């Protein structure tokens, strides 16, 4: 039945979208999910010569390969990208032993926005324009964009800057002239596990904010205030003021572990 029946699995002439059978968010406590999405339909994969399985269909002229789909295709593609990103962090990024949280933040920071999806804009728009959202999360894994920012764009990495409750890390970004390239700031951390019965699963709460030169504040994840639900927070904006933007990571409440990287 529709919408799955008429959903496009793949098409060379239409924009990419989300497969109808792909999971959407949010989590029960409001956390944004998914974090990232990856190719998961009509992906060519190796086929065992002793298998009678034909997947989604054999590749024409070569019985050693079949088309497959689902998490069995998306997960290894994302994992392979993560492995290459970790190697890059150690060799080119200057991080000897990168944390899992930094790797996650890096891939999210360079993800591609898939909006509006395969059905265009209007009443049938599939993916909201603003990230993150509960269809694509923070976007589509894009290894090239992650590791090779465009001309006149720069990538800064910060890892294991620990905070205790009430402490703040401050980073200043100064603009001497107008800028048309967006700022993308991504914070991720490996939170402690919550009790199964907890209504809110976030345990340690770090907050990312940006204060503009004129004094106004910007908040992550499309919110109008601090985010007390997610352990991944992203701010994406075009700076419209000249001067110093003050980025703060605040340890609002950190009951577990004494501090949070």
> Which tokens in the block code for residue 36?
């990232």
Q: Write a three-state SS string for the chain.
A: CCCCCCCCCCCCCCCCCCCCCCCCCCCCCCCCCCCCECCCCCEEEECCCCCCCCCCCEECCEEEEEEECCHHHHHHHHHHHHHHHHHHHHHCCCCCCCCHHHHHHHHHHCCECCCCCCCCCCCCCCCCCCCCECCCECCECCHHHHHCCCCCCCCCCCCCCCECCCCEEEEEEEECCCCCCCEEEEEECCCCCCCCCCCCCCCCEEEEEEECCCCCEECCCCCCCCCCCCCEEEEEECCCCCEEEEEEEEEEECCCCCCEC
pLDDT-derived band of residue 16, with 50, 70 and 90 as boundaries? Answer: confident
User: Which residues sit opposite 217 in a β-bridge?
Assistant: 211
- Say what the pLDDT of residue 254 is: 96
The pLDDT value recorded for residue 209 is 98
Q: What is the pLDDT of residue 82?
A: 97
Highest mean pLDDT, choosing among 8-12, 124-128, 250-254: 250-254
37-82 pLDDT, tens digit per residue, is 999 999 999 988 898 888 898 888 888 999 999 999 999 999 999 9
Q: For residue 136, what are its two tokens?
A: 């694509």
Beta strand 183-188 pairing with 62-68: unpaired
Tokens, residue 205 = 């709460």
Omega prior to 116 cis, within 30 of 0: yes
Binned at pLDDT 50, 70 and 90, residue 202 comes out as very high
Distance of CA 137 to the CA centre of its chain: 6
Burial 79-112 (b: 16+ CB within 10 A, else e): eebbeebbebbeeebebeebbebbbbbbbbbbbb
pTM here?
Answer: 0.92
Residue 109: φ, ψ to 5°: -60, -35
pLDDT tens profile 86-141? 999 999 999 999 999 999 999 999 999 999 998 889 888 999 999 999 999 999 99
Half-sphere exposure of 241 (CA within 13 A, CB side): 14
Exposed/middle/buried for residue 212 (C-beta within 10 Å: 0-12, 13-18, 19+): middle
Q: In this predicted structure, what is the pLDDT of residue 201?
A: 96
- Give the model confidence (pLDDT) of 208-230 as tens digits: 999 999 999 999 999 999 999 99
Q: How far apart are CA 54 and CA 94, in angstroms?
A: 45
In percent, the amount of the chain with pLDDT more than 90 equals 76
pLDDT for res 128: 95
β-partners of residue 135 are: none
Q: Which residues pair with 163 in a beta bridge?
A: 260
Query: What is the average pLDDT score of the chain?
Result: 93
Give the number of other Cβ atoms within 10 Å of residue 169's Cβ: 16
């Amino acid at each position: 039945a529709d919408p799955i029946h008429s959903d496009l699995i793949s098409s060379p002439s239409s924009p990419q979208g989300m497969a109808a059978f792909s999971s959407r968010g949010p989590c029960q406590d409001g956390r944004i999910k998914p974090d990232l999405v990856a190719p998961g339909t009509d992906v060519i994969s190796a086929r065992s010569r002793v298998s009678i399985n034909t997947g989604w269909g054999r590749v024409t002229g070569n019985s050693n390969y079949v088309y497959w789909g689902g998490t069995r295709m998306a997960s290894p593609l994302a994992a392979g990208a993560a492995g290459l990103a970790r190697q890059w962090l150690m060799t080119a990024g200057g991080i000897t032993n990168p944390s899992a949280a930094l790797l996650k933040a890096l891939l999210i920071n360079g993800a591609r926005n898939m909006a509006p999806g395969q059905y265009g804009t209007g009443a049938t728009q599939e993916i909201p324009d603003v990230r993150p959202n509960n269809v694509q999360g923070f976007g589509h894994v894009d290894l090239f964009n992650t590791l090779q920012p465009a001309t006149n764009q720069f990538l800064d990495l910060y890892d294991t800057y620990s905070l205790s409750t009430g402490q703040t890390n401050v980073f200043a970004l100064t603009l001497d002239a107008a800028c048309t390239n967006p700022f993308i700031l991504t914070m991720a951390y490996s939170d402690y596990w919550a009790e199964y019965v907890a209504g809110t699963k976030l345990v340690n709460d770090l907050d990312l904010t940006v204060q503009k030169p004129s004094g106004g504040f910007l908040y992550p994840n499309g919110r109008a205030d601090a985010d007390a639900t997610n352990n991944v927070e992203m701010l994406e904006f075009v700076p419209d003021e000249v001067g110093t933007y003050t980025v703060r990571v605040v340890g609002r409440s950190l009951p577990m572990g004494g501090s949070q990287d």
